[in-house]
Amino acid sequence: MATDRRTPTRIRVKWPVVIIADKGVIVAETRDISSEGAFISCDLPLSPREKLRVFIMAPNRRPFELPAEVAWSNSQDSKTKDISSGMGVRFTDVTTANRQVLLNLLEHLYKSKLKPTSSL
């Protein structure tokens, strides 16, 4: 099994996203996210190094924009049971305000996942 070299904590979350790229608009969904990037599940992933704008629609929040670059991608052609079609993106040139929105969301998610659940 390959070692995950990413250091920021990745949180599994399915949030709708709209991606604007040179090839057009893609409606997709995150599978996990960190302060530095995300895995976005989509039918037609873009090629590595493509620049894009990701609009994240987290629950109970206004959509916010994170400029990004495709780090890697896999298509349905290479899809197996263990690998979803999609792409890993790295956030780039994020405004201070949007970086803070993302960090606040991630902190809230992380804390909510640590809370013990009550049993009946």
- Give residue-wise pLDDT tens across range 62-107: 999 999 999 999 875 554 555 678 999 999 999 999 999 999 998 8
Percentage of residues in the chain having pLDDT higher than 90? 54
β-pair partners for 88:
39, 72
Q: 11-113, superfamily in CATH?
A: predicted glycosyltransferase like domains (2.40.10.220)
Burial of 84 (0-12, 13-18, 19+ CB in 10 A): middle
- Backbone φ and ψ of 45, nearest 5°: -65, 150
The string of pLDDT tens digits covering residues 30-40 is 999 999 999 99
Sequence spans of domains, the chain: 11-113
Helix intervals (H) in the chain:
96-114
**Count of CB atoms within 10 A of residue 28's CB?**
19
pTM over 0.75: yes
Alpha-carbon gap, residue 84 to 86, rounded angstroms: 6
Average pLDDT value for the chain: 84
| DSSP-based three-state secondary structure for 22 | coil
pLDDT for residue 7: 60
84's tokens: 């979803």
Cα 51–Cα 90–Cα 71 angle in degrees, nearest 5: 75
